[in-house]
Amino acid sequence: MSDMSRIKTFNLPDLGEGLTEGEILAWLVKVGDTIELNQPIVEVETAKAAVEIPAKWAGQVQAIHHPEGTTVEVGTPIIAIDTDPGAGPLEAPSTTATPSGDLPTPSAASLAAVEVAPAEGMIEPGLIGGAAPGGRTAVLVGYGPRTTAAKRRPRKGGVPAQAVAASAPAAPAPQPVVVPVAAPARDGQAASATGGVLAKPPVRKLAKDLGVDLGTLTGSGPLGSITREDVQRAANGASAVVAEPIAATTAPSFGADREQRIPVKGVRKLTAENMSRSAFTAPHVTEFLTVDVTRAMKALDRLRGRREWRDVRVSPLLLVAKAVLLAVQRHPMVNSTWAGDEIVVKEYVNLGIAAATERGLIVPNVKDAGRLSLRELADALTDLVQTAKSGRTSPAAMSGGTLTITNVGVFGVDTGTPILPPGESAILAFGAVREMPWVHKGKVKVRQVTTLGLSFDHRIIDGELGSKFLRDIGDFLTDPEAALLAWT
């Protein structure tokens, strides 16, 4: 194998449908590291989520093209990998000048050799970088990478990204450049983007499989790295050293003009675009309903007391979600999309739950939530919330939502006028549950009360349909047991 055919250039793949760029949050490898096939090599943040990208080839890292903090467009080379490091050192490129004094021009064959040779490194159809149906290039999520130059966002107080020579001899033209990146700890440990957590890739995978957040642990390994034993102890509920939580917000840093300028990017940029498009496209109407939920709260207490539910997270949001799903069965038109010259009514319900994260507002959804039992729904909501809080929600989990709940009550707010997520026709705001004076059976008593706010697309849902849908949700929360007997 020639030197140049050994070098494989890995382009940034499409990380989500419709996404064209991503910001490099953290490199999990450094130049000179030996990596395995499918080993996570870089963490990239898109407009939807933070994603770890696996290596397409095993080998040795020869060059890293962009530093952390760089925004890179889909299709841009980000790393170069020597797929046969055991064949010996790479030959240095010739710099012998021609009689005219110019450096020799690489031949077309030598330039083409840098690409993936058909007989070597070929990716199976359907895998990342391989052939997809219709002759397209398969990517992580969806199709459509673009081969364009990278856009670099200046890093405040950081070192400019300059090309420096790699420690190993570089391959011939096109010459990969190496930029300064934060090197992982020794022994192949990878630094997380949150809090400098150190853990080897197998440990990170184990933590992901067991549902353990590495950011909450203090490792017992070298340099404070997290070991398999640390993860297993945390998963088994044993006493583990818990790290101090990272502050959700940092103190503002003002300049001489006493103003701070915050770049709009990632999740916040996508949220702004979606909300602006929705607010000025779909004619919004919002209705409110105040409900006595005392019986619903007592039903939750009884549910928590049952032996088979003792290890399940039971919250008021669970009953609100169940109420919405049952109300959709009674009013299917609410679960629909405006498609220009037609309305698409969906039998399935991908129930979105708005979640506030450190990166901004995201709306992951529970797929086909209407088919889940109450216990399955509780588990799905718990997993959704925990994944969102850890910053590991995938783009696929945030795609395809059909109807959304936003739980503003967790912030002590009574209700709101939520804006529809694009492509959805209804969103419910669930307010705080408070003890308030309420007329009950002809007497004023202290009851547990909440206020619901339903925003809907008036092109699809008229006032009567929206009112009936909201009323049914309120009826279920007023007396869930009676509603279940009457509706199912």
User: What is the block-wise mean pLDDT of the chain (488 residues), using blocks of 10 residues?
Assistant: 75 72 87 90 76 88 89 89 81 47 45 40 40 41 38 45 40 43 40 53 71 72 68 56 39 74 70 68 88 96 90 92 96 92 93 85 92 94 88 84 93 91 92 95 95 94 95 96 91
Tokens linked to 236: 């088994």
Tokens linked to 299: 């039903």
Alpha helices, DSSP H only, in 178-256?
A: 201-210, 228-235
- pLDDT at residue 115 in the model: 42
- pLDDT at residue 316 in the model: 94
- pLDDT at residue 77 in the model: 92
Q: Which helix (H) or strand (E) holds 109?
A: helix 108-112
Catalytic, out of 66, 284, 440, 458: 458
Tokens linked to 228: 């398999």
- pLDDT at residue 432 in the model: 94
* Residue 94 burial class via C-beta count within 10 angstroms: exposed 0-12, middle 13-18, buried 19 and up: exposed
Annotated catalytic residue 66: no
Tokens linked to 245: 């939580």
Angle at 225 (CA atoms; ends 220, 231), nearest 5 degrees: 65
- pLDDT at residue 449 in the model: 97
